[in-house]
A and B are shown apart, each in its own frame.
Chain A
């Protein structure tokens, strides 16, 4: 009888008091912090880390293009070993996609159109250093910095 009493008391305490707290703690633990970046590692061992927010990866002409509002990373697909979510700080923050063969419009920080360009290389050659917003034909937009 005493044993059953102890079990019942334990069950009661667990169910009424501790269980919600346990669930809360487990949930908070499992809901770990979001990743902030995507890490691309080449076969040569180079690591390119791109911020996750607003990131969009596309493939064209055997190249991987990872475009974020702040940066564009372009790597030959054949050179990539893997990509993975990461908590590391992005290290790719300037435009270096010189052969993105997609037409886009460029707007300055005041929203004024600066022109339409066939690729990033052409745009860099024409634009003064500063912050711009580019808009692709498919509607995708990104912020770029020309140094």
Chain B
């Protein structure tokens, strides 16, 4: 019975939809469609025009009037492209609010400023069909929807879709359709798909965009994406460029062949910004793939902050560094770049930077990671500008170069504080001077899993380093595993830090300038040519320092008291046995008291150790003993 009832209703509604007669006023390829029902009389006025519904037509503009029974969605303008021409169908109820101009397959629609809540409300413009010389331009001052319902446009006169409407524009990529937009080369348009207002991509269809003059997709205000699958196939400038903010909660954004940044979010106004003018990139779901080969370009760039709580980002930057002749400083590429903060609480990241000075993430503000799975690989060397020449892989002594004149590859570079509260971070850098994580201020690790295999320092900070938790494995091939230029406070977590051969350290604190190392908790092992040591009574967890003849990749270092093993530390397979130390390696620096010629200085501190107790340290066949101390007379490094 229920089924029968619903069937009756469906049949009736279907009958309603198909039985309606329409009066079509054809003005060339523009058809104004008025339902016969309740249309009333069409009044003629002095032989020059007539009025249908709410619109008056000049006789000379009308090519014919016909009747059909084709159903037309309410308040929806249909634009159908067919090669060299386009046909536009306008429902009668909004005919007075829409003026259409067609030149071949170039359609221009002016939406009246009368459109609003108290008149006809929101109008939908539905595009379909194909044209190799077609475009769509829309002007208006009230929110609207543009449906891409299987349209393929290649413009010869500018943008393929140009929406000059400063309000909210629903850009609906209709499910089950594929849409292609290509703009003209050498034009003045800002993008192949441009919107003067804010553009909200919706629905599950697929859109392919190519920007042959500037950006592929651009909006003067924000862009949001939900469900849609958007492919940028190439662009002279940014793949996607917007202002105010960018947000994505689902769908796919795939950007390849960008001539500048893959995705850039800027502030709309330089001052007196509205609340939503944050320059922020936010990803809560969906997938972003972005590749750019431009020099010093970012795969994802925000003038404000970057927030990621979910979704997936796969980014690749292949461009090298660049000397900015205006600012007189180097610029380098980065997969994620923010002038503000980066805050990651979820999501999957696969970031790759191959160019000189290329980075996985970089931000001017603070970096906070509390979740997510992050994999970063950089292979570029150091970009430098010196003596009026650019170097893509500078191997000279960079210590004397001002930081404005050099840019090293890094997994993560932050000009402010770095705080890691969770997540999984895996970083590999292989170029000269490439560090794993660098903070130009304080660095704090409270939780999370961190795996670093760096050419230079594994984790480095200019200020203090605080480690309160987490599982940290940091391997530095040519420098220090952990390197704090301020104090280092280790109060918890599991830390395995491996430095290069002498004079590099597993754990390094800037003792030369009076900074100190504090052990108050945690399972700590540092291995390197040398090490820093606690030197203050506030360092309460005892430690031992021992020299092992070898510490090899894949082995296990254990500390035991008699037959009781206090802790075991795995030596990662990425740890490469550093070459034996030679005085020449010291680079003129004085020799120290570290691991010695080819030996390994091992520093271990674990809960339960007591001052004065002798512990045995073993790695494979190598074994030694040392007595625990709380702190030494001073920090010391091998130089």
Binding site for B on A (CB under 8 A): 16-17, 19-21, 23-28, 30-32, 34-35, 38, 52, 55-59, 62, 76-85
Contact = CB atoms under 8 A, between A and B. Distances in A.
B449 to A, nearest CB: 55
Given A55-B66, A57-B64, A76-B47, A31 B16 contact: yes
7 contacts: A20-B8, A20-B9, A24-B11, A34-B19, A77-B59, A82-B43, A83-B41
B387 interface: no
Interface of B: 1-2, 4-6, 8-9, 11-13, 15-16, 19-21, 23, 36-37, 39-44, 46-48, 50, 59-60, 62-67, 69
A84 B37 contact: no
Contact of A31 (B15, B64, B65): B15
A62 B11 contact: no
A9 to B, nearest CB: 17
Contacts of B67: 38, 52, 55
Nearest to A66: B65
A32 B47 contact: no
Contact of B37 (A19, A32, A52, A59): A32
A23 B1 contact: no
Given A17-B1, A30-B16, A77 B64 contact: no
Contacts of B5: 16-17, 19-21
Given A16-B2, A20-B6, A58-B64, A77 B47 contact: yes
Contact of A82 (B1, B37, B42): B42
**10 A-B pairs with the lowest CB-CB distances in the bound complex, closest first:** A20-B5, A27-B12, A78-B47, A57-B65, A82-B41, A24-B12, A23-B9, A80-B44, A20-B9, A24-B8
A57 B16 contact: no
Contacts of A32: 37
B65 A34 contact: no
Contacts of B43: 81-82
Contacts of B47: 62, 76-80
B64 A56 contact: yes
Nearest to B7: A20
B442 to A, nearest CB: 64
Contacts of B19: 31, 34
Given A27-B15, A85-B36, A34 B69 contact: yes
Contact of B62 (A23, A52, A59, A78): A59
A35 B21 contact: yes
Q: Which of B11, B19, B60 has the most A CB atoms < 10 Å from its CB?
A: B19
B63 A58 contact: yes
Which of B5, B13, B63 has the largest count of A CB atoms less than 10 A from its CB? B5
A20 to B, nearest CB: 3
Contacts of A78: 46-47
